[in-house]
């Protein structure tokens, strides 16, 4: 299944990777991003359906959510694509 990452989510991912590079060894941000994308690929399967997010703000927008470590990934399956709209730090949603 094709994966599409919307601009807002791309910005978040870039900021996360940049931050990890500043607090860890050089390249740690890109390694985190590689692991993130690998996890997303494992969820992007054609015949799988996901429930709506538990967080009402995202559920009202028709989004499903998965977690990657402490991050919440808000997405929809549209026309055979796994579309990521937001990547949010989990503590922000509580």
Separation of alpha carbons 11 and 18, rounded Å: 11
**pLDDT for the residue numbered 92:** 82
pLDDT tens digit sequence for 36-80: 999 999 999 988 899 999 999 999 999 999 999 899 999 999 999
Tell me phi and psi for residue 25, to 5 degrees. Answer: -75, 155
**pLDDT for the residue numbered 59:** 96
Separation of alpha carbons 85 and 11, rounded Å: 11
pLDDT tens digit sequence for 8-38: 999 999 999 999 999 998 899 999 999 999 9
Tell me phi and psi for residue 86, to 5 degrees. Answer: -145, 150
Do 80 and 46 meet the contact criterion of CB atoms below 8 Å apart? yes
Domain count for the chain? 1
> Which residue range is the domain that position 11 belongs to?
2-93
pLDDT at residue 88 is higher than 80: yes
């Amino acid at each position: 299944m094709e994966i599409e990452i919307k601009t807002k989510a791309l910005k978040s991912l870039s900021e996360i990777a940049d931050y990890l590079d500043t607090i860890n060894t050089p390249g740690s941000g890109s390694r985190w991003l590689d692991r993130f994308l690998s996890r997303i690929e494992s969820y992007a399967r054609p015949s799988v359906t996901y429930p709506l997010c538990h967080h009402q703000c995202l559920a009202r927008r028709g989004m499903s959510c998965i977690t990657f470590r402490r991050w919440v990934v808000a997405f929809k399956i549209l026309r055979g694509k796994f579309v990521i709209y937001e990547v949010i730090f989990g503590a922000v949603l509580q």
